[in-house]
Chains A and B, each alone.
Chain A
Amino acid sequence: MSKINELEIKNKYTGEIIRTIPADTPETLEAKIKKTYENQHLLKEMTFFERAQLLSNFASKLRFNKNKLKELIVAEGGLPIKYSEWELNIVTNGFKFCDWYYQFLDEKPLTSIEGEQFVKIRYIPQGLAACVSPRNTPISLPLYQMGANYLVGNGAVVKPSTACPLTMLEAYSMMKDIDLPALDALDIVIAPGEWAIDQFLSSPYIKILMTITASHTAKDILVRYAKILKKSVDKSMGVAMYTQPFKQFFFECAGNDAGIVMDDVNLDQVAKWNAMASYTNSGQQCFSMKRIIVHKDIYDDYIEILIKEIEKLKYGDPTDPDVDIGPLGSRKILMMMEVMVADAKKYNVKIYTGAEKIDTGEDYGLFYKPTLVEIKPELCTDLKKAPFLWREEAFGPVRSVTKATDLKDAIRLANASNYGMRAVVYTSNLENIELFKNELEAANIYINARPMLTDITVALGGIKDSAYPPGCKYYPQELVFPKYIYDGTSLNISKIK
């Protein structure tokens, strides 16, 4: 296979080359997979709490070097400097207190009808994980993937986006600096997804493929896996027997989160949070509040306030501490925003603000102004006929807003989606809160919550096309399998001796 030998990593705002780094070839990738596989036993030689303590210490190393990491996040990711703090806090807080995850892995005794406890459910690391992470988070997601595997005792090869691998490489180099034990069970892969994923799928050493990607890309991975399985068929015994073993797939995909604003809230406060929840990181967040649903009685007032909040957002040089909106991650995202807005215009929508681009003509310094588009509620229910902006994830700073007649209508509109990552509600009516909790179709429900929380309890995951397997989840929980152990020794030892 002919593959590139090195990658130029560019500053997303200025276009300057930050660094040129060597890229993996199929041969070096294979060697990394084999090395991490062979060194996994080093992790198993430590207890969960020893690994947790090591990660907790590493969190301090990250924090003491946060300025260096933030500079890289801003340069290669285009994230505004003030947002880079949040991006880092996710992992520094998560790692500092990572033994908190033990509650999901703690061995559970089961009591039988007779009151005996012969059965235990023990949680076992699944094995080597290949992790693929997206371009919008240069460190939080790839490092969280790596740390979660380390914590539970799985080896891991992590492939950050080739658009922004430097922060993750720097973090890995910090692991080396502190001589993190069992580091040979972890490695970083610098390679484009197109062939690296096929290699992960084909490798007998890889037990888990965890990817954070668009839902359609995740489905494409399954199709590619099916092709690999098909090639492995052995028909020598007269029936088709697939020689490739099962792999565990763990997909974190797109979100098209609904955010409901009811008629009983402080509009100024909610609009402020709404702007942050919808446009942080230029809207390039899977869990961003993308479909805003506002009660009809406050609609006009709320829109007026929300527009003011959106127009306060400053875009430009991401190193400027006052900048809220940095450059887009790629030209493809800019084009997608244009396509979504152009498609929406065919439906006679109202564009409240934005819908303008700043195009340098290059692959850097690209902006799309924070945009708010009103879509009439009658266009939102039948997804086959709904505007592209409503039915698919807008992974950029374009958001839709629509009007709900009442609580049930708001829930109906929120659920009119193929995605179900998060749903957000703002209401002060305590009687309605349970209804929202029960009826909203999403894996994570946020009621009256401040956006962008970094609390360790914050879960990932989704339902529908937002994640597979479905449900809210914590990475460590997904990287182990439960083992049933029945031990009848005390009951039967005298009989079998």
Chain B
Amino acid sequence: MKSSVINEYKTVLAKNYTTFLSKFPEIFSDLVSGSIFDFAIYNSIKSYDEKSPVDVFNVLQNGRGIEINPGRADDADLELALSIEAVEKLIQTDTKTEYAKLLGNFYNFPDEEKGWIDFFLHKRTQTLIDMGYGRFAKTAGILEDENEI
């Protein structure tokens, strides 16, 4: 896997998040081998608008599991943007289900103070669907609309 120039974690929070994610590799099991995307942590919506994260790491689905590395991937499929507040709360969850529910909440009910997530697509929607990102989004709690009304 190629990773970007930045090859160290800038924040403890990002490092803790990677440790957390490595406990739940099954979250990424819907993605085809070779899927790679960035997790970017922002301290405000404004910094997200300016594409100025406090830290970034990338996750590769290598077919056997996941590889997590600091920095942006060279050719990321998308960026999952998260506020600091969201990451702080996400890493406190105990189960994959709890994590997915909270992640979905941050997507569906974004709040500058309580936390938010978003994603920025680098590849075409159809390509991402074919790579399994649609199912990934469901598993991860984003795009779940079963109880929206």
Contacts and interface: CB of A to CB of B under 8 A. Distances in A.
Given A63-B110, A63-B118, A64-B116, A89 B126 contact: no
Given A100-B125, A103-B126, A64 B149 contact: no
Interface string A326-355: 000000000000000000000000000000
A381 interface: no
Contact of A99 (B109, B118, B125): B125
A453 B110 CA distance: 21
B148 A89 contact: yes
Interface string B93-116: 000000000000001111010001
Interface string B135-149: 000000001011011
B122 to A, nearest CB: 9
Nearest to A177: B49
A454 B146 CA distance: 10
Given A99-B125, A100-B125, A103-B126, A83 B149 contact: yes
A85 B126 contact: no
A100 B149 contact: no
B77 to A, nearest CB: 14
B124 interface: yes
A56 B78 CA distance: 13
Contacts of A83: 149
A66 interface: yes
B121 interface: yes
A8 B45 CA distance: 34
Contact of A86 (B49, B146, B148): B148
Given A63-B118, A100-B125, A86 B110 contact: no
Contact of A276 (B108, B109, B124, B149): B149
A468 interface: no
Contacts of B107: 63
Nearest to B145: A454
Interface centre among B49, B118, B125 (most CB of A within 10 A): B125
B149 A85 contact: yes
Given A63-B110, A64-B116, A82 B121 contact: no
A49 interface: yes
B149 A82 contact: yes
A225 interface: no
Given A63-B118, A64-B116, A99 B149 contact: no
Contacts of B149: 82-83, 85-86, 276, 280, 452
Nearest to A92: B108
A60 B121 CA distance: 12
A233 to B, nearest CB: 48
B103 to A, nearest CB: 14
A100 B118 contact: no
B121 A56 contact: yes
A357 B118 CA distance: 44
Given A85-B148, A86-B148, A66 B126 contact: no
Contacts of B112: 64
Contact of B124 (A49, A85, A89, A450): A49
A453 B146 CA distance: 9
Interface in A63-85: 63-64, 66, 82-83, 85
Contact of A64 (B45, B125, B126): B45
A280 to B, nearest CB: 7
B124 A99 contact: yes
Contacts of A56: 120-121
Contacts of A103: 126
Contact of A97 (B118, B125, B148): B125
23 contacts: A53-B121, A56-B120, A56-B121, A57-B120, A60-B118, A63-B107, A63-B118, A66-B109, A82-B149, A85-B148, A86-B148, A89-B145, A97-B121, A98-B125, A99-B124, A99-B126, A100-B126, A102-B126, A178-B49, A450-B146, A453-B145, A454-B145, A454-B148
Interface of B: 45, 49, 107-110, 112, 116, 118, 120-121, 124-126, 143, 145-146, 148-149
6 interchain residue pairs of minimum CB distance: A97-B125, A100-B125, A60-B118, A99-B125, A99-B124, A64-B110
